[in-house]
Amino acid sequence: MRDQKLQKLIFEKSREGRGCSLLPACDVPAALPDQALLRQAPPRLPQVAEIDISRHYTEMQKRTHGVNDGFYPLGSCTMKYNPKLGEEMAALPGFAGVHPLQPAGTAQGCLELLCRAEQVLAEITGMDAMTFQPAAGAHGEYLGLLLIKAYHQARGDRARNKIIVPDAAHGTNPATATMNGMQTVNIPSNEQGCVDLDKLRAAVGPDTAGLMLTNPNTLGLFDENIAEITRIVHEAGGLNYYDGANLNAIMGIARPGDMGFDVIHLNLHKSFATPHGGGGPGSGAVGCKALLAPFLPLDRPVQQGEAYGFEDPVQSIGRIKAFYGNFLVVVKALSYVLTLGAEGIREAACNAVLNANYLKNQINDLYEVAFDGICMHEFVLSLAELKKRTGVSAKDVAKALLDYDIHPPTMYFPLIVEEALMFEPTETEPREMLDYAAQVLREIHAQAFSDPAPLLNAPLTTPVARPDEVLAARSPRLTFEF
Amino acid sequence: MGRYIPAAPAEQRQLLEAVGVASFDELFAVIPKELRIGGLCIEPGKSELEVSALLRGMADKNRVFPVIFRGAGAYHHFIPPIVRSVAGKEEFVTSYTPYQAEISQGLLQLIFEYQTMICELTGMDLSNASVYDGASAAAEAVTMCRERGRSKALIAASSHPMVIRTMRTYCESADTELVVVPEREGRTDAEALAALLDGGVACLYVQQLNFHGLIEDADALFAQVHAADARAILGVNPIAAGLLKSAGACGADIAVGEGQPLGMPLAFGGPYLGFMACTKALMRRIPGRVVGETLDAEGRRAFVLTLQAREQHIRREKASSNICSNQAHCALTAGAYLTAMGPDGLRQAASLCYAKAHYLAQRLCEIEGVALAHPGDFFHEFVTTLPCPPEALLDRLAQQGVLGGLPVQQGILWCCTELNTREQIDELVNTVREVCGA
Amino acid sequence: MNIPKELLYTRDHEWVQETGDRVRIGITDFAQDALGDIVFINLPEEGDGVRMGESFADVESVKAVSDIYSPVSGRVAAVNADLLDSPEQINADPYGAWMIEVADITDRGELLDAAAYEKLCGEEG
């Protein structure tokens, strides 16, 4: 239901003199830095009592949609259920209370956990080594290309500065190439939405550093030419990078390492069920074949006989953040993998693909599926025709879903599909939820023809109506004005 | 085997039938046979009870020190229970980046509040919704400063070594030359800086508190930087910021820092929080998500992700950063921490840190052979010389349940926070005297 | 669709106005309409070189970024800095909202007259 009154910011709830009683009096002689070093005025933080905080956050909680609230088929984001076991394990004082710079001998459990996670994730992906230093998928991509660049340079192969990226790729791929001072070569998809082999052959050469690929791709299609694709790149002297955002479809079924990929990032916050936290922290674990292992980041956890310790790879690229990564996220991911085990991992992928196909088949008579056929874990609808006939756009349908407590799918991606909506139901949705979503999508479709006007203003029941994004961008107000 | 799939085997068969395939294998027919694996070589799945026991076993192999005198980039502070309670709400934990503003107003508003608090702490005009950690924030800040003809970045040698190493990686990959400005007596050498500031310099990064715990003369350094038309980046300790002159007041164009002290546990190094704020002039260059205030179609105040055209999903190869997922939940936690502390609480925490560290320093320096390694004031960390090998001392402390300071070149880098009581400090001093005293 | 007779046009939907030995460049009504609400513009600086067929600026709408291509090679002699503060002028008055003036022109590409450009828009629209 719409807000009837102004939803106050915490600063607007602040009352002079309020606060929480948290810290003891000073038990040593009082001391303060020189006056010239001190700030002129205190920061205007809110002055509130504990009950004010409790209620404020409860209000905010009610105005936030989580996986626990309902269906969340956000394509390419793998919004599966996040088991609570992981949360409990990550909160154990034996993990949460360990200082990153305490002697390795006193952090054996943490190091063992990282080594164990490396072992199982390397097996799942067909890689030889892994690092958990990257904090997110994009951070992992950055590291992956650093490794590729370091590999070529170590061989004196300095002319390789081009990264080949299919046009359906995630925006991070080309952005990552730029961060590494490399040029992106975009290659168009073929009619099946997959890599056009002839175009790829024409694109590779002595300047090819590598290829970045998601498989299944962002259309939810597995590229059956994958072995040929990676071979073309290898023969040209380049390396193959696997964007692991879509691994959920194939884990336990096939392995990027067997497909000819040399380096890969995983989003532990996608395939391995760690929560997204409203946009992080994630973990962008990077795996690689042995030929890239000498370049991995510093402080690599390793087993040394009976004990565990750190090692600095000989030709390390250095580091991309302080310490060893989002450790507690790795705890959650390992607890997930150990629970599922070999069979459970495979079962998760199977059901992710099954659910996507089931949902697609419930609606593909009404909605146009971009590249129809058996899909992997996600599929893309094109609403171009619907928009032409009714004026109802992909965005309107997405917003209408909000009125049914369904989080919209990813909108307007991939860029190569007009009016795209990308659905990824994941394996943790029961059939009745898929049926409900299909029924809602059918109702919206019918309404688009019978009475489209309300759809153009949807959602009608959320706390706020569509926000004015143009106003926000033209006159940015990025902080509270006291 | 544990599983989180609701569908029972019979239901799965019904779905397969509905899809029109006989088996799961048929669903994956498009994957060439030679690429399909028979099974994974990992252990069979376990019940939650078994996994819980297994991971608890690993956690038990770690030593959790009840008393900690070590910082060096990760700080042991009091986390008010209300912070964990509100941050742990399932909606905040499980939601994705708030692309759909209409059902994400709670999260968006909390990030907006966080941005405001970071600006209050740093004296900057605007903040993003966070980056990975303090080190990557420092590296991204350098990227913000690059200009045509200015492709050199300076970093103070007194910065955290991991920040320097991270920045080196980012600079090398972007063809930015990184030059380390030497220190004199533990702080950035202004004369050396003057000699390095030529027309090719884009920016200087200085850390306030530096790695030795010392308070840098940021004002003077930044005046030099601005005189050379370069930009000034200050790495800020957020607890000290409750007491010390803000980055903005020191003349910084960008303030970044490690936000872990704001309510995040030590957690063996992560997840932590990179905060990042800047002046209006640099608004379009700040990487990552930014939340802005606007109106909804019916005139209500509403919050949205804004300035999105800077980001990788739109700019692709023209974006200057590839960041998407950041540390949103850590930012939310930091917002809750700063809300619980309030201006008085934060100032009290900062004052306690300062007073206790100075008490410890004074007591340690009563021991023969122990002296401050550097002149100049410090905040909650400082380096002392040690008249004995640090290993013997640290081992003895560990036996007492105390994580001593970090061994560094000149001795030991000690840290005190509001959690260290006078009794703990006195005991520490006694042990140092016993082990290292004459 | 407003297509002033006195201007020349590119196939990428920029307009060009000759003023003595300089040219002014902006984007057409058709272009601003296709882009939607423009929220920001990146402009070059005075004195920068521009090359025919290469991007000299980009404009941002809420969810897209578009390059603006130069129909001539030369040197940027003036920049309409007002647009930095109020990019919405480009939507409101595309032919008043010039972006840059180029002098020292060494090369120019094929330009269309109003009639030819109108035909092009008809084909694309």
Helices (H) and strands (E) in chain B, counts: 14, 16
Domain housing C67: 8-118
Element housing B187 (H / E): strand B187-188
| B11 reaches A (C-beta below 8 A) | yes
Distance from CA of B190 to the nearest CA of C (A): 33
Dihedral through CA A436, CA A441, CA A444, CA A446, nearest 10?
-100
Distance from CA of C51 to the nearest CA of A (A): 20
CATH of the domain at C26: 2.40.50.100
Nearest one of B113, B68, B101 to B334, comparing CA atoms: B113
pLDDT confidence of residue C66 = 87
Does residue C31 sit within a domain?
yes
Amino acid at B46: K
Preceding omega of A174 cis (within 30 degrees of 0): no
**Alpha-carbon span B24 to B38, nearest angstrom:** 13
Under an 8 Å CB criterion, which residues of C touch B? 39-40, 58, 60-65
List of chain B residues whose C-beta atoms are within 8 Å of the C-beta of residue C44: none
Q: How many CB pairs under 8 A join A and B?
A: 687
Answering whether pTM is above 0.90, one says yes
Chain-wide mean pLDDT for chain A?
A: 96
Alpha helices per DSSP H over A313-412: 327-363, 384-390, 394-402
Please answer yes or no on whether B318 and C65 come within 8 Å at the CB atom.
yes
Q: Where are the beta strands (DSSP E) in A273-320?
A: 286-288, 300-304, 307-311
pLDDT confidence of residue B408 = 97
Written in H, E and C, the secondary structure of chain C is CCCCCCCEECCCCEEEEEECCEEEEEECHHHHHHHCCEEEEECCCCCCEECCCCEEEEEEECCEEEEEECCEEEEEEEECCHHHHCCHHHHHCCCCCCCEEEEEEEEECCCECHHHHHHHHHHHC
- First-residue to last-residue Cα distance in chain B: 62
- Domains of chain A listed by start with CATH number: 85-340 (3.40.640.10), 342-469 (3.90.1150.10)
Neighbours of chain A (3+ CB pairs under 8 A): B, C
Nearest one of B381, B373, B372 to B354, comparing CA atoms: B381
pLDDT digits (tens, 9 = 90+) for B185-228: 999 999 999 999 999 999 999 999 999 999 999 999 999 999 99
Chain B residue with CA closest to C62: the answer is B309
Query: Which of C41, C62, C85 is the best mutation test for B, with the most CBs of B within 10 A?
Result: C62
Q: What is the CATH number of domain B67-77+343-436?
A: 3.90.1150.10
Query: Which of A23, A67, A396 is the best mutation test for B, with the most CBs of B within 10 A?
Result: A23
Does residue C37 sit within a domain?
yes
List of chain B residues whose C-beta atoms are within 8 Å of the C-beta of residue C58: 318
- Long-range contacts of range C81-88, CB-CB < 8 Å, 24 or more positions apart? C81/C43, C83/C41, C83/C43, C84/C41, C84/C43, C87/A474, C87/C38, C87/C39, C87/C40, C87/C41, C87/C59, C88/A474, C88/C37, C88/C38
| A32 reaches C (C-beta below 8 A) | no
Tokens 């020189």 belong to: A34
- Contacts of B361 by beta carbon, 8 Å cutoff, 6+ apart: B372, B378, B382, B384, B414
| B173 reaches A (C-beta below 8 A) | yes
**How many domains, chain C?**
1
Please answer yes or no on whether C62 and A469 come within 8 Å at the CB atom.
yes
Please answer yes or no on whether C63 and B309 come within 8 Å at the CB atom.
yes
- Contacts of A185 by beta carbon, 8 Å cutoff, 6+ apart: A162, A163, A164, A165, A203
**Domain boundaries defined on chain B:** 9-60, 67-77+343-436, 81-336
Chain A residue with CA closest to B245: the answer is A39
Q: Is the pLDDT of residue C125 over 70?
A: no
pLDDT digits (tens, 9 = 90+) for A320-353: 999 999 999 999 999 999 999 999 999 999 999 9
List of chain B residues whose C-beta atoms are within 8 Å of the C-beta of residue C63: 308-309, 314
- Scan residues 370-409 of B and list those with Cβ closer than 8 Å to A: 377, 379, 394, 398, 403, 406
pLDDT digits (tens, 9 = 90+) for B94-131: 999 999 999 999 999 999 999 999 999 999 999 999 99
pLDDT digits (tens, 9 = 90+) for B352-398: 999 999 999 999 999 999 999 999 999 999 999 999 999 999 999 99
Query: Which of C39, C60, C85 is the best mutation test for A, with the most CBs of A within 10 A?
Result: C39
pLDDT confidence of residue B438 = 59
pLDDT confidence of residue A59 = 97
- Please, what are the averages of pLDDT over each run of 10 residues along chain A (482 residues)? 92 96 95 95 97 98 96 95 97 98 98 98 98 97 97 96 91 90 92 92 97 93 96 98 96 97 97 96 98 98 96 97 98 98 96 98 96 93 96 97 97 90 97 98 98 96 96 94 95
Backbone CA torsion sign across B273, B277, B283, B286: negative
Distance of CA B109 to the CA centre of its chain: 22
Strands B152-156 and B201-208 turn out to be parallel
Asked whether A131 and A285 are in contact (CB, 8 A), the reply is yes
**Alpha-carbon span B126 to A476, nearest angstrom:** 10
pLDDT digits (tens, 9 = 90+) for B266-312: 999 999 999 999 999 999 899 999 999 999 999 999 999 998 877 77
| B308 reaches C (C-beta below 8 A) | yes
**Alpha-carbon span B289 to A469, nearest angstrom:** 14
Domain B81-336 CATH assignment equals 3.40.50.12160: no
Calculate the alpha carbon distances from A186 to A37, A173, A213, B268 in Å.
53, 10, 11, 40
pLDDT confidence of residue B81 = 97
For C94-106, b/e burial (b = at least 16 CB within 10 A) is bbebbbbbbeebe
pLDDT digits (tens, 9 = 90+) for A32-47: 999 999 999 999 999 9
Please answer yes or no on whether B327 and A298 come within 8 Å at the CB atom.
no
| B284 reaches C (C-beta below 8 A) | yes
- Scan residues 180-209 of B and list those with Cβ closer than 8 Å to A: none
Amino acid at B302: A
Average pLDDT over residues B411-416: 98
